[in-house]
């Protein structure tokens, strides 16, 4: 039975690497980091000024920034947990 450590990205052996190595190369460490990051999606909303002011007021009353308030509204409407 082998206690050989493997790269967390590709599964390659880390036999000739440092004792605390987790990846076989800096490229694989970066690739694993990119995979684990949340992806941001930028969108623009066009709403009448009166509707914007209503949304802003609701966000202020809830203690959230307007962007987080809108994200929470969209997530709850779609059934996604935030």
* Model pLDDT for residues 32-77, shown as the tens digit of each residue: 999 988 777 788 889 999 999 999 999 999 999 999 999 899 888 8
Q: Are residues 27 and 59 in the same domain?
A: no
pLDDT at 29 over 50: yes
Q: Are residues 6 and 30 in the same domain?
A: yes
Task: Tell me what pLDDT residue 3 has.
Answer: 59
Tell me the pLDDT band of 82, cut-offs 50, 70 and 90. low
Which residue range forms the structural domain that includes residue 8? Answer: 1-37
Q: Are residues 52 and 14 in the same domain?
A: no
pLDDT at 6 over 70: yes
* Counted domains in the chain: 2
Contacts of 28 (CB under 8 A, 6+ apart): 7, 8, 9, 10
Task: Tell me what pLDDT residue 56 has.
Answer: 95
Q: Are residues 58 and 73 in the same domain?
A: yes
Identify the residue with better confidence: 24 or 74: 24
Give how far the C-alpha of residue 5 lies from the chain's centroid of Cα atoms, to the nearest Å. 28
Q: Are residues 18 and 50 in the same domain?
A: no
Q: pTM for this structure?
A: 0.46
Cβ burial, residue 18 (10 Å; 0-12/13-18/19+): exposed
């Amino acid at each position: 039975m082998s206690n050989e450590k493997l790269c967390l990205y590709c599964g390659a052996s880390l036999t000739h690497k440092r004792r605390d190595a987790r990846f076989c190369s800096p490229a694989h460490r970066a690739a694993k980091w990119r995979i684990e990051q949340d992806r941001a999606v930028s969108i623009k909303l066009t709403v009448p000024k009166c509707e914007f002011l209503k949304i802003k007021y609701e966000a202020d009353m809830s203690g959230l920034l307007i962007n987080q308030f809108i994200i929470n509204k969209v997530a709850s409407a779609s059934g996604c947990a935030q």
